[in-house]
Amino acid sequence: MAKFKFRLERILSVRKHQEEKERILFGIAVQKKLEAEMKLSEIRERLNSAMESRTKLFNSKPTIEDLVRAHEYHISLINREVKAIKNLEETKRIMEEQRLKLIEARKKKRVLERLRERKYEDWKFEEENKEQNELDEIGLQTFMRKQKSFSEPADRSELISRGENYGY
């Protein structure tokens, strides 16, 4: 039996490589999103802690400088929170783009895999048909030889015993 060859094997290989690349990029995007979420969570914890410290500061006798410093720190945390939220939104957008690219790469690869499977089944069917035809031909030739050997006498003594003498 001949070996199966899929003529688009190189393209399928490229598609598999592309899918793997997109999977890695998607993983990186997910990781960056998780990091952005952690950073935002950390900033929010600091903001809550700063609010508690500010409340305690107001209950004691603070100086103007202490109040200004606490207020500036609070404002800087709010600004960092806004930046972290924007960063998180951007990482979510990038992650979604990568997810869509990964889905597209999987579809392209799967189309070629299905085509390869169909071509393999067609090839297998053809090979089995060829093999069956060869076996049928061998069987027919064997049958014809046996028929011929039964219909032709083997030697002169057999002809004489049957009462047939053709000038021998």
Class of domain 9-121 as given by CATH = mainly alpha
CB 37 within 8 A of CB 88: yes
Which sequence spans correspond to the domains of the chain? 9-121
Structure confidence by residue, pLDDT tens digits, 48-62:
999 998 888 888 888
Please give the model's pTM, rounded to 2 decimal places. Answer: 0.70
| Residues 121, 119, 135: CA angle, nearest 5 degrees | 50
Structure confidence by residue, pLDDT tens digits, 57-98:
888 888 899 889 999 999 999 999 999 999 999 999 999 999
Is the confidence at residue 129, as pLDDT, over 90?
yes
